[in-house]
A and B are shown apart, each in its own frame.
Chain A
Amino acid sequence: MQTLRQTGWMVIRQLRNLSRQPIWVVMMVVQPMIWLVLYGQLFSKVPALSGGSGPYVEFLAPGIICMNAFFGGMWSGMGMITDLDRKVIDRFLAAPASRLAIVLSQVVRAGITAMIQTLILLIVGLALGVRVHGGALGWLVVFVAAFLLASAFAGFSNGLALIFRRPESMIATANMVGLPLMFLSTILVTFAAIPGWIQAITRINPVNWGVVAARTAVIAGNDWASVAGHLGLLLAAMAATSLFATWCFRSYQRSI
């Protein structure tokens, strides 16, 4: 209970602080739109990518939503590094702050940011001809997928932040892990167009779990069992990475 209360107040702190950085707000809104428009144009003449049926942008939109959520989560450890540098974390730790609450506040903040961006992307997508065939439930699934994807990777990223404690190491690791995970998923291309050996990796790639759930909800609007299964996997991943990050406080506290 205390952990939940603290998480709530710390999430409010983070969102409020971020809202005070106008550049960050602008980037948060503009960047995903650039991805959607840019990739939509770049690949629109390659029908094989999306498996053919329907406009490519409709195939792409849930992919970009997930890519955006995934990278948002991947970078969220930077906020933890700033707080470590400014000794805000030390101050919390010397007070009865829950370590899990400190982690969850980053995780939930990443999830909420991803949902806001998802809303913007869906609106832009609608203007470009995207239709969510899954209806209201489809919309909900897309938001939940974005939230969970961002949260799951935010937990991982915050764990790295607590271990490395330096932005350079964080950035290097986020790129080294992030880019392959993106290209080993169906964000840009349909599963059938991926070579067999990569397909095996794609199946166990958490990024792809989000893409499958979101894309099924947008394009097909059926097979809810598969959607629920993939969201469940993401939820488990979020729990696992949050606990991992909480555990990483040990490494940090040994170092100080």
Chain B
Amino acid sequence: MDAIVAEDLHKRYKDVQALDGVSFSVREGEAFALLGPNGAGKSTTVRVLTTLTQPDSGRAFVAGEDVAAHPDLVRNKIGYVAQDSGVDWDATGRENLLLQGRIHRMAGKPLHARVDELLELVGLSDAADRVARGYSGGMKRRLDVAIGLVHQPSVLFLDEPTTGLDPEARATMWVEVERLAKELNLTILLTTHYLEEADRLAERVAIVSRGRIVVEGTPEELKRNLQGESVSVELNEANGRLTDAERIVEGISGSVHVEGNVVRARVPNGAQAIPVILGALDDAGIAVAAVTTSRPSLDDVYLHYTGRDFASEDEAGR
């Protein structure tokens, strides 16, 4: 059975078409990522699925319930971790959890026991009775996750769970989410604009761009469907020959993309292409700082399916 089904969701805010026909489904117990730059429509999708807002058209089902017809039933079964932390800063970690439990009609000893268990689970037992204002970004985020889990939901929504965290806290969060997914048999819908995060945490990924899902599959499938390898040629800084270099590489590989002073090309075989590219650049007198070749990443997948570079798209969406 599918834990989440979205069918042709459309939603428009004044002059922005936030969702332009989003459809996907997530199997029970699966970790699924919506991957896309800022402004792609990921958070709007999550807000529709968590009953926070309604789509202009289209239908959605979460944990077997229609989000439009029975929002209250959906709310009983989902945990929602908002993009920006939903922690009450002036309450302690424990108080945050107790109130959320009470909203879910929990009470008394079972509630207190559950709260202790969750504090332990996310490693906040020692900080439980401190006011959350003093928590680090990573601690607030882990408290958010615990808040989302207090009523033992079957579906957990994590909207950008590691945005704004430093790399160390992000790594901790990843381990945490992986463990929860395994131990609790949760269905997880995660949104992220970090390619590596989707690659690491999700069993299946849907790439979202401008309100649509452009491609969907396991990270491996997506990468495998891209033939060949990616070659990046970094030019010596400010030698002013970027356009020439782009033209030369394009003549060899056919598809190039420029980012800063790096020319990126997709080639059938990196080992064969590199000497040719370097030779041509050398003939033209263009100095090269570094050359790397790599298997396709989700970055390449994004570029391939949207025709746009992930990083610059992300910047534009801010």
Residues of A within 8 A of B (CB): 2, 5-6, 9-10, 13, 16-17, 20-21, 83, 86-88, 90-97, 253-256
- A86–B100 CA distance with the chains assembled, in angstroms: 15
On whether the beta carbons of B103 and A6 are closer than 8 Å, the reply is yes
Q: Which of B34-42, B89-97, B213-221, B304-312 contacts A (4 or more CB under 8 A)?
A: B89-97
On chain B, the residues within 8 Å of A96 by CB distance are 72, 75-76, 103-105
**Which residues from chain B contact A20 at a C-beta distance below 8 Å?**
90, 131
Which residues from chain A contact B76 at a C-beta distance below 8 Å?
96
How close is B169's CB to chain A, nearest CB, in angstroms?
A: 19
Contacts of B77-109 to chain A: CB distance below 8 A: 78, 80, 82-91, 95, 99-100, 102-105
- Contact residues, B1-40 vs A (CB, 8 A): 13
Report whether B88 and A13 are in contact in the complex, using a CB–CB cutoff of 8 Å: yes
Known: A16-B95, A96-B103, A253-B52. A91 touches B72 (CB 8 A): no
The listed residue (B51, B91, B105) touching A94 by CB distance below 8 A is B51
Q: In angstroms, how far is the closest chain B Cβ from the Cβ of A104? A: 14
Q: Which residues of B contact A254 (CB under 8 A)?
A: 53-54
**CA gap between A39 and B159 in the complex, in Å:** 53
Q: Which of A5, A10, A16, A87: most chain B CB closer than 10 A?
A: A87
Which residues between 96 and 131 of chain B lie within 8 Å of chain A, taking CB atoms? 99-100, 102-105, 131
Chain B residues with CB under 8 A of A97: 103
Residue of B nearest to A5 (CB): B102
Residues on B with beta carbons closer than 8 Å to the beta carbon of A16: 90-91, 95
Q: What is the interface of chain B mostly: helix, strand, loop, or mixed?
A: loop
Residue among B51, B87, B88 with most chain A CB within 10 A: B88
Q: What's the Cα separation between A88 and B84 when bound, in Å?
A: 10
A105 to nearest B CB, angstroms? 11
Question: Is B50 a contact partner of A94 (Cβ separation < 8 A)?
Answer: yes
Which B113-164 residues have a C-beta within 8 angstroms of A?
131, 147, 151, 157
The chain B residue sitting closest to A9, CB to CB, is B102
Interface size of B in residues (CB-CB distance below 8 Å) = 33
B80 with A94: CB separation less than 8 A? yes
The 10 A-B residue pairs with the shortest CB-CB distance, nearest first, are A91-B86, A17-B90, A94-B80, A87-B86, A87-B82, A94-B50, A96-B75, A97-B103, A95-B103, A9-B102
Q: A86-B86, A253-B54 are in contact. Are A94 and B75 (CB under 8 A)?
A: yes
CB distance from A88 to the nearest CB of B (A): 5
Within the complex, the shortest CB–CB distance from A246 to chain B, in Å, comes to 15
Question: Would B100 and A95 count as touching, CB distance under 8 A?
Answer: yes
Closest to B46 in A: A94
Asked whether A95 and B80 contact (CB < 8 A) given A253-B54, A256-B47, the answer is yes
Closest Cβ of chain A to B196, distance in Å, is 25
User: Once the chains are docked, how many angstroms separate the CA of A97 from the CA of B99?
Assistant: 11
13 A-B residue pairs with CB within 8 Å: A2-B105, A9-B102, A13-B88, A13-B91, A16-B95, A20-B131, A91-B80, A91-B147, A94-B78, A94-B157, A96-B76, A96-B103, A256-B47
* With A87-B82, A91-B147, A256-B47: A13-B95 Cβ-Cβ less than 8 Å: yes
Report B118 CB to chain A, min CB distance, Å.
Answer: 15
Q: How far is the CA of A87 from the CA of B13 in the complex (A)?
A: 20
Residues of B within 8 A of A17 (CB): 88, 90-91
Are B85 and A86 in contact (CB-based, < 8 A)? yes
Which residue of B is nearest A13, CB measured? B99
Contact A88–B102 (Cβ < 8 Å): no
The residue on A at minimum CB distance from B74 is: A94
- In the bound complex, residues from chain B placing their C-beta under 8 Å from that of A91 are 80, 82, 86, 100, 147
B131 to A, closest residue via Cβ: A20
How distant is A247 from chain B, measured CB to nearest CB, in Å?
A: 16
A145 to chain B, nearest CB (A): 30
Provide the residues of chain A in CB contact with B99, threshold 8 Å: 9-10, 13
Inside 8 A of A90's CB, which chain B residues have their CB? 52, 80, 82, 86
A94-B82, A95-B80 known, 16 other contacts, Cβ within 8 Å: A2-B105, A6-B102, A13-B95, A87-B85, A90-B52, A90-B80, A91-B80, A91-B100, A93-B51, A94-B50, A94-B75, A95-B75, A95-B104, A96-B76, A253-B54, A254-B54
User: A55 to B85, alpha carbons, bound, how many Å?
Assistant: 54
Which of these, B53, B88, B89, B105, contacts A253 with CB under 8 Å? B53
Q: Which residues of B contact A255 (CB under 8 A)?
A: 13
Q: Is the CB of A92 within 8 A of B103?
A: yes
Q: Which B residues are CB-close (under 8 A) to A9? A: 99, 102-103
* Distance of A83 from chain B, by nearest CB (Å): 8
